[in-house]
Amino acid sequence: MIEIQHLSKRYGSKLAVDDISATIRPGMVTGFLGPNGAGKSTTMRMMVGLDRPTTGSVTIGGRRYQQNSAPLHEVGALLEAKAVHTGRSAQNHLLALAATHGIPKKRVSEVIEMTGLGTVAKKRVGGFSLGMGQRLGIAAAMLGDPHTLILDEPVNGLDPEGVLWVRRLTRQLANEGRTVFLSSHLMSEMAQTADQVIVLGKGKIIADAPMSDIIAASTGNLVHVRTPQPAELARVVAGPDVSVTSRENGLLEVTGLDARQIGESAASAGIVLHELSPVNASLEDAYLELTNDAVEYRTEEVR
């Protein structure tokens, strides 16, 4: 379990993380979502003691990272995939890491196997692609067989097969009862990976909810109705939770009823319909809407 309490981080005049509190539970995959610059990496760095909080605290398994006597057994983290001595082979990098943490050599072979690095384990890390670097980073995070995994953009640079692999691996680790916390700026990726999602925007938490709730909220029941009798239709569908908005030439936007209910009301009143179409906002739209005010760097629209 990771507990974040009133955590803030200021860099000069920039408040990168702004008083956030959250609990990240074991046995599930928690996604950490937000646009570039939202403060995800800074939060994750504070979790593992690489950055010092300006205020507040983070504990993992009830202790601050620095208080863990065997941190690699408690927490595995992938933060900067390429933060590796590039002259070494992947295997030697992992062996050195294992040796300094009292981890047996056998475990190195296991994580190499687990991350699919077998064929490149003896190659110099300097020549690794971004994807292979990510796999090596995940191998290093897994070395101590930790209870908690913190992965910053783990699918970055991976091919589709690699993305699927990360998804299965994180699911398996969560099923084993571990705490799995991973960041992404892609809603589509998170939708398929995370059980719970924390959305960060400009250093603040703007949502902390089960993924299924976020998906359900994004598919509200807006229905487009086109009819030559808009006033009559508005009258027959009227109700306390129903709203009807008139758009251009006979198009009505109805919320609060689904297409079947509207169609049946229209039929029983003898109203002609030219169009009856449910409009489902995509999950990506919901995410953009959620983070719209919280985007740090906006690309100017090309004219």
Ligand X SMILES: Nc1ncnc2c1ncn2[C@@H]1O[C@H](COP(=O)(O)OP(=O)(O)OP(=O)(O)O)[C@@H](O)[C@H]1O
Smaller CB separation from ligand X, 81 or 94: 81
**Where are the extended beta strands (E) located within 63-178?**
75-78, 148-151
- Binding segment for ligand X (CB under 6 A), chosen from 36-44, 87-95, 128-136, 281-289, is 36-44
The whole-angstrom separation of Cα 94 and Cα 88 is 10
Of the chain, the end-to-end C-alpha distance in Å amounts to: 48
The whole-angstrom separation of Cα 3 and Cα 190 is 21
Contact with ligand X (CB under 6 A): which of 8, 30, 41, 134? 41
Smaller CB separation from ligand X, 10 or 101: 10
- Cβ 202 to ligand X shortest distance, Å: 9
Contact with ligand X (CB under 6 A): which of 29, 31, 33, 37? 37
Smaller CB separation from ligand X, 36 or 57: 36
- Cβ 57 to ligand X shortest distance, Å: 18
The whole-angstrom separation of Cα 198 and Cα 20 is 11
Smaller CB separation from ligand X, 79 or 174: 79
Residues 157-216 that bind ligand X (CB under 6 A): 185
- Binding segment for ligand X (CB under 6 A), chosen from 35-43, 57-65, 97-105, 190-198, is 35-43
Please tell me whether residue 230 binds ligand X under the rule CB under 6 A.
Answer: no
One-letter amino acid for residue 92 of the chain: N
Q: Return the DSSP state at 2.
A: E
- Is 43 exposed, middle or buried (CB count within 10 Å of its CB: 0-12, 13-18, 19+)? buried
Residues 284-303 that bind ligand X (CB under 6 A): 296
The whole-angstrom separation of Cα 203 and Cα 290 is 14
| b/e map 108-123, b = 16+ CB within 10 Å | beebbeebebeebbee
Residues at the interface with ligand X (CB under 6 A): 11, 14, 16, 34, 36-42, 185, 296
